[in-house]
Structure 1
Amino acid sequence: MPKSLLIISRQAPWSGPAAREALDIVLAGGAFDLPIGLLFLDDGVFQLAPNQSATAVQQKDLSANLQALSLFGVDDVFACGNSVLERGFPPSGPNMDDVQLLTPEEITVIIDRYDQVITL
């Protein structure tokens, strides 16, 4: 049985390559039927913000990758509820439909549930 993997994405979408790399790992794992989850934490929750303007910073928009998660069999998508609220955007919206908001205690339980954890 393959080991499960949790990717924790802590970087804002345009602060460097980490956000894109996290999504690429999750999509690749999903394509190979790896039990995989994605947790947005701290500034990583900015990846879920609607109406991002990627062209303004000469980057590729990550929202298409987020929408493709379910197509790749990635159903375990989480976000820290505190991080979402602290950054001032509502916990509902176009990129939040399939995201489970978690408390810090629930995050600890989720992390313990996976065999391997990678933080980017």
Structure 2
Amino acid sequence: MAKSLLIISRQAPWSGLSAREALDIVLAGGAYDLPVGLLFLDDGVFQLVPDQSAGQLQQKDLTANLKALEIFGVEDLFVCATSLMERGMRPKDLNVDPIGLLDDNAISALIDRYDQVITI
């Protein structure tokens, strides 16, 4: 039986390559039918904002990667409610649906569900 994998993405899309690398790992896991989940935490929630002007920062837009998650069978997507609130964001502002909105206790339980956890 394949081990499950949770990726915790904590970096804003414009802060370097970390956000893209997190999505690449999730997509690769999905391509190999690995049970994989993705949690957006801290500044990682900014990856979920629609209509980003990534080109102005000489970065690639991550929207296509986010839309590909469903195609690769990745359905376990989560976002930290506290991270959203601290950044003045609401669940309806996000470009990913459906996504699980989790409080701190639920995040701890989520991490416990997975065999392997990678924080990027």
1:15-94 to 2 correspondences below 5 Å: 15-93=15-93
CA distance in 1, matches of 2:93, 2:86: 16
CA distance in 1, matches of 2:36, 2:70: 12
Cα shift readout 1:13-55 (whole Å, capped 9, x = no counterpart): 0101110000000000000000000000000000001221011
- Residues 49 and 89, structure 1, Cα contact 8 Å, conserved in 2: no
Match of residue 114 from structure 1: 114
* AA partner of residue 51 (structure 2): N
Cα shift readout 1:63-88 (whole Å, capped 9, x = no counterpart): 11111111100000000011012111
Give the TM-score normalised by the residue count of structure 2.
Answer: 0.96
* AA partner of residue 102 (structure 1): L
2:104 matched to 1:104?
A: yes
- Residues 77 and 98, structure 1, Cα contact 8 Å, conserved in 2: yes
Q: What displacement does 1:97 show? A: 1.4
* AA partner of residue 4 (structure 1): S
Q: What displacement does 1:96 show? A: 3.2
CA distance in 2, matches of 1:90, 1:104: 17
Count of matched residue positions in the alignment of Structure 1 and Structure 2? 120
Structure 1, unmatched stretches of 5+, are none
- Two-structure CA RMSD over aligned residues (Å): 0.9
Residue 92 of structure 1 aligns to a residue whose secondary structure is helix
- Residues 7 and 39, structure 1, Cα contact 8 Å, conserved in 2: yes
Residue 20 of structure 1 aligns to a residue whose secondary structure is helix
Structure 2, unmatched stretches of 5+, are none
Q: What displacement does 1:94 show? A: 5.2
